[in-house]
Amino acid sequence: MKKIILASNSPRRHELMKFLNLDFEILSSDIEEIIDPKLEHEDLVMDLAFQKAYSIFKNDRDSIVLGFDTLVVIDDFILGKPKDKAEAKVFLNILSDKTHKVLTGCTILTSGYSKSFYSEAYVSFVKLTEEEILEYIETKEPMDKAGAYGIQGYGSKFVKSINGDYFTVMGFPISMVYQELKIILNK
């Protein structure tokens, strides 16, 4: 069987990948993301996932490489990872008492096979107080997450509802990835 490589340094993706019950390696894709402003959000998240997967695949073409990217979108505006506490506060204020979309793109590359796809979920937040936002920022959890929150951690207490796949919000739509990998592994 071909070696499977997860092209991500996300600890959450590492943990979720284990649920597939497959042996895999982790090679971090630390590329400079090239954002094409002409792309729709769904195409952009798949393009970014492709860039990450390809950065590893180009040097290891005998493997199966998985790349991911996650975007938080509200009012057609992308909230990435906050660059500092002040930006995290702005993001959390924007998300407060509103519904936003989370898109996770995935690319799977191996010799003779290339597939990019995405999953989307809608997340509604409760109304956040200034104190809640500041306390949450002090946990440092928002600093390395798209949209400045982690649904699987302290940020979970702000989530009123989810419409879609919970694991999409975590950045790894497990079922979709598993279904695609079955196609490759059963060839």
pLDDT at 33: 80
pLDDT at 21: 93
pLDDT at 31: 82
User: Which CA distances in Å does 35 have to 9, 31, 177?
Assistant: 20, 12, 24
CA distance 111 to 12: 27
* pLDDT, tens only, 51-91: 999 999 999 999 999 999 999 999 999 999 999 999 999 99
Domains along the sequence of the chain with CATH: 4-185 (3.90.950.10)
State the catalytic residues: 69
Beta-ladder partners of 105: 69, 118
